A and B are shown apart, each in its own frame.
Chain A
Amino acid sequence: MDWLKFINPREEPSKDVAKERLRLLLIHDRASVAPQLLESLRGDLIAAITKYMDIDESGMEVNLENVGHSVVLMANIPIRRVKRGVQASL
């Protein structure tokens, strides 16, 4: 989109850069300052997933990662077995 700069030579206002950087920063800060947050999320994920499949809890990883311009919740959950005949609850 460099050609856009030609039409509007003004860069993005630096306060918008500041706000965006802070937004990403604080997602990490708040999650790492409260490790119990990720720990409790992990517990809830296990409870939800084990309804449908057996998982290897010891090999499970739940982390926040930077991907491009956003922070994503990465959950790496090894599956041992998918349960048969589980109906999705409404």
Chain B
Amino acid sequence: MQGKVYVVTSGKGGVGKTTATANIGTGLAALGRKVALIDADIGLRNLDVVLGLENRIVYDLTHVADGLCRLRQALIRDKRMEHLYLLPAAQTKDKTAVSPDQMQAICDELRDDFDFILVDSPAGIEQGFRNAIAGADDAIIVTTPEVSAVRDADRIIGLLESAGFEQDHRMLVINRLKPSMVRRGDMMDIDDVQEILSVPLLGVVPDDESIIVSTNRGDPAVLDQSSRAGQAFRNIVRRILGEEVPLMDLNDQNGFLARFRRLVGIG
């Protein structure tokens, strides 16, 4: 068995790379796949917090890269999912503490034991990004429907292209879409963003307060059956596994009209 390596990247910070990595990884593990998550954001690690694993860190990515511990020793097992593991970033060093060659070696070693390896890339286009993409087969580009995020995503797509990620190895996640703003004409919609970036769409995640609640608790929203963002991530996971899943209806299910329709049984 040889696992597949995905890098989750965006260029711009704060668009939801870490949330996407945690949720897609947890979702894949919930469907029985063996998953390793790598936090490549050395110096600003956060994937451990989103997963609620911050108290279990002993060794990190830089220890493995420097040969101070074995890869197996640094992997933290998730507290919910039997087949989900995290390789955390170092918090006290910087991006130069690891080289692209070392990252690639770590990813390749993980392929033997895992079905999926997800690398959470740091923001930016410098060495942290270079490290994150070094061992990856495919790239998941996360953006929000905003000018600055789409612009940075376009830059990242250009860099991925010149790093050898062909068209069918790049996929787009549009995060934090607000259907009510799209209806008002105050937010770019799925077609607008796709037309500009021309990258195949992997999924669309609606803006959802449950993401903040889930991050507060360290429980990924993908496991919360009532979370709309969680549903979107479950759909993304199934698409990664090769299923054809239609885009979910993004219209607000808790608005007055939707509740009224449900009440009278036409929704």
- The answer to whether A29 and B188 have CB atoms under 8 Å apart is no
**C-alpha spacing A16/B185, complex, angstroms:** 8
- The answer to whether B187 and A15 have CB atoms under 8 Å apart is yes
How many residues of chain A get a CB closer than 8 Å to chain B's CBs?
A: 15
Which residue of chain A lies nearest to B150 when distances are taken between CB atoms in the complex? Answer: A22
B200 in the interface (beta carbon within 8 A) = no
Asked, given contacts A21-B147, A22-B196, A26-B196, whether A15 binds B186 with beta carbons under 8 Å apart, the answer is yes
B43 in the interface (beta carbon within 8 A) = no
User: For chain B, what secondary structure do more than half of its interface residues adopt (helix, strand, loop), or is it mixed?
Assistant: helix
- The answer to whether B151 and A26 have CB atoms under 8 Å apart is yes
- The answer to whether B185 and A29 have CB atoms under 8 Å apart is no
- The answer to whether A33 and B147 have CB atoms under 8 Å apart is no
Which residue of chain B lies nearest to A26 when distances are taken between CB atoms in the complex? Answer: B154
How many residues of chain B get a CB closer than 8 Å to chain A's CBs?
A: 16
- The answer to whether A23 and B196 have CB atoms under 8 Å apart is yes
A32 to chain B, nearest CB (A): 10
Chain B residues positioned under 8 Å from A29 (CB to CB)? 151, 154-155
Q: Which residues of B are at the interface with A, using a C-beta cutoff of 8 A?
A: 146-147, 150-151, 154-155, 158, 182, 184-189, 192, 196
Interface pairs A-B: 7 shortest CB-CB: A13-B185, A15-B188, A14-B186, A18-B147, A26-B154, A15-B185, A19-B192
- Apart from A13-B184, A13-B186, A30-B154, 13 more pairs, CB < 8 Å: A13-B185, A15-B182, A15-B188, A16-B185, A19-B196, A21-B147, A22-B150, A22-B196, A25-B147, A26-B151, A26-B154, A26-B196, A29-B151
